[in-house]
Copies of this chain bind each other. A is one copy, B any other.
Amino acid sequence: MPGYNEDDWLAINTIRCLAPDMVNKANIGHPGAPMSLAAVSHVLFNKFMQFNPENPSWPNRDRFVLSNGHACALQYCLLHMFGYKLSMDDLKQFRQVDSITPGHPEKLDTPGIEVTTGPLGQGFGNAVGLAIAQKHSAAVYNKDGFELFNNHTYCIFGDGCAMEGVASEAASLAGHLQLGNLICIYDDNHISIDGDTAIAFTEDVLKRFEAYGWHTQWVEKGDDDLDAMEAAIQRAKDVTDKPSVIKLTTIIGFGSLKQGTHDVHGSPLKPDDLAQVKKKFGFNPEEFFVVPQKVYDNYGARSKAGAAVEQEWNKLFSSYGEKFSKEHSEIQRVLKKDLPEGWQKCLPTYKPSDPATATRKLSEAVLEAIHDAVPELLSGSADLTGSNNTRWKKATDFQPPSTGLGDWSGRYLRYGVREHGMGAIMNGLAAYGTVIPAAGTFLNFVSYAAGALRLSCLSHERVIWIATHDSIGLGEDGPTHQPIETLAHFRALPNIMVWRPADGNETSAAYYMAFTSKSTPSVLALTRQNLVHLENSVLEKAIKGGYVLHEDKEAQITIIATGSEVSIAVESVKTLKDQGIVARVVSMPCVEVFDAQDKDYRLSVLPDGIPILSFEAMSTLGWEKYSHEQFGLNRFGASGPYKKVYEKFEFTPEGVAKRAKATVDFWKDVKPIRSPINRAFTHVI
């Protein structure tokens, strides 16, 4: 093994001075971890990782995830020094509004950032997803002599990530899946924000990972012993049937007068401390933001070597194209996030005479119909396959072949009862670039994954949640399982589509939009109970998010409903007619998509002049945006057969008619009645 020399230490010490410079200029941030992780990241980036800063989206690049995202000054330094499009000025703009160096790494802001991290544990889960995607892509696309996909995923995580359940879930699954392409470095610095980890975190982390089935190693001198780091990473690479974790014992804030204490975790160094750090590492304490040319040169050479590797890969990919043109164009297509020509013709369509069916079953019919046409779809469930109906009949499980339960090309992932881990893994799967992840759980338990879901939204990942048992309509499982707040929660997230289809055609519409919206995650809220197929529901209307299902020019009221409540609303029209009230009905499977339509359209659906009543069997919060009055459930549900539960809360045609009548009466004296579509001003975007 080649030794390390002063050039290596120069690079490492550059980071140890540059990162705290960034934090000090911002006057806020985390210098400690960058200083102590400088050594291992130098070894990782300069000896192991393959990447080309000129093309951060080269498909077979090694992936790097900084799960302790608060240490991002480290990552920004590295990206700058290796030649990514991140200037010294960008480093100086650390944590400033509209800079490309925000307080935590965001993949949309900064070239070279693979996934958005910071919320602890998420990056670790993303890394597991990235590793799964690599394994899967290799199995699907690699051919003899054509190792298109063979990259590694490297992840650094700290004590915080190690304590988070989301990372535990992902680690357990990674062990089961024998992800030999995943190498994680645990920054064991004995410090978290509250001080010494002795106060709350005294478990044996390596033993825990062993219990998960990981290969484990310990590097005791994580700030000094570059050879040991290199040897450990190399051994980790050599172990191909297990994920690897390397416990790297470091001294947080290495070099600072306060090293080894939580004082260096989340605050700038004192000026005199920073000065002595620089002296200690051979830099001029009077100078700031310094990268010696030699470091640029050496790192530049490494990057150039990476560029050459990419060139080789490009040639390989070209000749692959000559032999395997179908796969070649498929890879090119999926990397652009395009869908296959005509795929949408596979989406099932229904007529009102078709038998009543639960939307979870209609969702299964979609998956059954499109899985051949859309090979990048990777489905799965958090141990509710039979309830979520997420698996097409001929699916193969994604499993280590040695288990005899499937293989790496399998397109069905058994996530186990690990919803949060599943969400973080899906973000990693989507970030890899060759996969569209979809996975199921009960809608109520998507909430367990709220931390991951909001990052799907923030980082624009096309992730699809197949969220069945979407309301009190699940019946007997009762209030512990019946969503009340859930849709309001998700609808309050930016950049999401929350679909609650009312029948077969709307379910197909939901999938159409979920697949074709390249930068937006979707939650499909689906029923356990059967629903009739509606007159006038067609995909072309449903993909507008809201549309008129039942029109009447004489209408005195508009009733908006979603999902299982739409057919009840339609029935209530007859009940109202008997009472001399004319109603029209709007189906609103996705408010976000409806919001994106032009105002004329929206006003044609929710016109001025008559009051609007919303009807959805859960929290009414947010429906005031579209309606004058709201019928819903602002309490927890009840355990019982679902029809009885619906009756208890008067979610019947008669119950709706009663509220509709009250609405018409109440608004009789107000003129003009304005549709809530009209707004005094538009929101800042």
List residues of A whose CB falls within 8 A of some B CB: 26, 28-29, 69, 95-99, 102-104, 106, 116-121, 159-161, 163-169, 172-173, 175-176, 192-194, 198-205, 207-208, 210-213, 381, 383-387, 397, 399, 403, 405, 414-418, 420-421, 444-445, 447-448, 450-451, 454-455, 457-458, 475-481, 484-485, 488-495, 611, 619-622, 624-625, 628-629, 631-636, 638-641, 644-645, 648-650, 658-659, 662-663, 665-667, 670, 672, 674, 676, 678-681, 683-685
Contacts A106-B479, A666-B680, A670-B672 aside, 6 further interface pairs with beta carbons under 8 A come to A119-B481, A173-B200, A194-B414, A199-B399, A484-B492, A611-B680
Which residues in B have their C-beta under 8 angstroms from that of A201?
172, 176, 416
Complex: how many Å from CA A632 to CA B634?
Answer: 24
Residue on B nearest A635 in the bound complex, by CB: B494
Q: Are A117 and B480 interface neighbours, CB within 8 A?
A: yes
> A103 is contacted by which of B478, B494, B679 (Cβ under 8 Å)?
B478
User: Do A210 and B207 form a contact, CB below 8 Å, given A201-B176, A629-B680?
Assistant: yes
Q: Are B104 and A478 interface neighbours, CB within 8 A?
A: yes
Complex: how many Å from CA A383 to CA B266?
Answer: 13
Which residues in B have their C-beta under 8 angstroms from that of A622?
488, 492, 621-622, 624
Q: Are B639 and A97 interface neighbours, CB within 8 A?
A: yes
7 pairs, CB–CB < 8 Å, chain A vs chain B: A28-B475, A103-B476, A164-B448, A192-B417, A194-B381, A488-B492, A631-B683
Complex: how many Å from CA A383 to CA B68?
Answer: 14
Q: Are B176 and A169 interface neighbours, CB within 8 A?
A: no
> A102 is contacted by which of B118, B397, B479 (Cβ under 8 Å)?
B479
Which residues in B have their C-beta under 8 angstroms from that of A658?
681
Q: How far is the CB of A608 from chain B (nearest CB, A)?
A: 11
Residue on B nearest A672 in the bound complex, by CB: B670
Q: Are B493 and A484 interface neighbours, CB within 8 A?
A: yes
Q: Are A103 and B477 interface neighbours, CB within 8 A?
A: yes
Which residues in B have their C-beta under 8 angstroms from that of A119?
444-445, 448, 480-481
Complex: how many Å from CA A403 to CA B484?
Answer: 43
Complex: how many Å from CA A176 to CA B205?
Answer: 13
Complex: how many Å from CA A387 to CA B267?
Answer: 12
Which residues in B have their C-beta under 8 angstroms from that of A159?
417
Which residues in B have their C-beta under 8 angstroms from that of A678?
666
Q: How far is the CB of A11 from chain B (nearest CB, A)?
A: 27
Which residues in B have their C-beta under 8 angstroms from that of A447?
450-451, 454
Q: How far is the CB of A419 from chain B (nearest CB, A)?
A: 8
Residue on B nearest A28 in the bound complex, by CB: B476
Q: Are A485 and B480 interface neighbours, CB within 8 A?
A: no
Residue on B nearest A613 in the bound complex, by CB: B680
Q: Are B478 and A397 interface neighbours, CB within 8 A?
A: no
Complex: how many Å from CA A350 to CA B316?
Answer: 72
Which residues in B have their C-beta under 8 angstroms from that of A676?
624
Q: Are A194 and B386 interface neighbours, CB within 8 A?
A: yes
> A489 is contacted by which of B212, B444, B485, B611 (Cβ under 8 Å)?
B485
Q: How far is the CB of A665 from chain B (nearest CB, A)?
A: 7
> A163 is contacted by which of B26, B203, B210, B417 (Cβ under 8 Å)?
B417
> A97 is contacted by which of B102, B117, B640 (Cβ under 8 Å)?
B640
Complex: how many Å from CA A475 to CA B28?
Answer: 10
Residue on B nearest A93 in the bound complex, by CB: B640
Which residues in B have their C-beta under 8 angstroms from that of A172?
163, 201, 203
Which residues in B have their C-beta under 8 angstroms from that of A636?
457-458, 494-495
Which residue, A165, A205, A448, A684, has most C-beta atoms of chain B within 10 A?
A165
Residue on B nearest A391 in the bound complex, by CB: B194
Q: Are A385 and B629 interface neighbours, CB within 8 A?
A: no
Q: How far is the CB of A494 from chain B (nearest CB, A)?
A: 5
> A644 is contacted by which of B97, B176, B417 (Cβ under 8 Å)?
B97
Q: How far is the CB of A618 from chain B (nearest CB, A)?
A: 8
Complex: how many Å from CA A97 to CA B637?
Answer: 10
Q: How far is the CB of A78 from chain B (nearest CB, A)?
A: 19
Which residues in B have their C-beta under 8 angstroms from that of A659?
680-681
Q: Are A685 and B420 interface neighbours, CB within 8 A?
A: no
Q: How far is the CB of A430 from chain B (nearest CB, A)?
A: 17
Complex: how many Å from CA A681 to CA B659?
Answer: 7
Q: Are A95 and B478 interface neighbours, CB within 8 A?
A: yes
Q: Are A650 and B478 interface neighbours, CB within 8 A?
A: no
Q: Are B383 and A420 interface neighbours, CB within 8 A?
A: no
Which residues in B have their C-beta under 8 angstroms from that of A164?
165, 169, 417-418, 448
Q: Are A416 and B629 interface neighbours, CB within 8 A?
A: no
Q: Are A97 and B494 interface neighbours, CB within 8 A?
A: no
Complex: how many Å from CA A494 to CA B403?
Answer: 45
The 10 closest A-B pairs by CB, nearest first: A165-B165, A97-B640, A624-B624, A102-B639, A666-B680, A488-B492, A485-B492, A489-B489, A200-B416, A207-B211
> A203 is contacted by which of B106, B213, B417, B485 (Cβ under 8 Å)?
B213
Complex: how many Å from CA A106 to CA B637?
Answer: 12
Q: How far is the CB of A55 from chain B (nearest CB, A)?
A: 26
Complex: how many Å from CA A199 to CA B97?
Answer: 47
Q: How far is the CB of A337 from chain B (nearest CB, A)?
A: 21
Q: Are A106 and B649 interface neighbours, CB within 8 A?
A: no
Q: How far is the CB of A343 from chain B (nearest CB, A)?
A: 28
Q: Are B194 and A492 interface neighbours, CB within 8 A?
A: no
Q: Are B95 and A198 interface neighbours, CB within 8 A?
A: no
Q: Are A386 and B193 interface neighbours, CB within 8 A?
A: yes
Residue on B nearest A420 in the bound complex, by CB: B165
> A625 is contacted by which of B416, B480, B624, B648 (Cβ under 8 Å)?
B624
Q: How far is the CB of A620 from chain B (nearest CB, A)?
A: 7
> A168 is contacted by which of B169, B381, B663 (Cβ under 8 Å)?
B169
Q: How far is the CB of A23 from chain B (nearest CB, A)?
A: 10
Residue on B nearest A626 in the bound complex, by CB: B624
Which residues in B have their C-beta under 8 angstroms from that of A106?
478-480
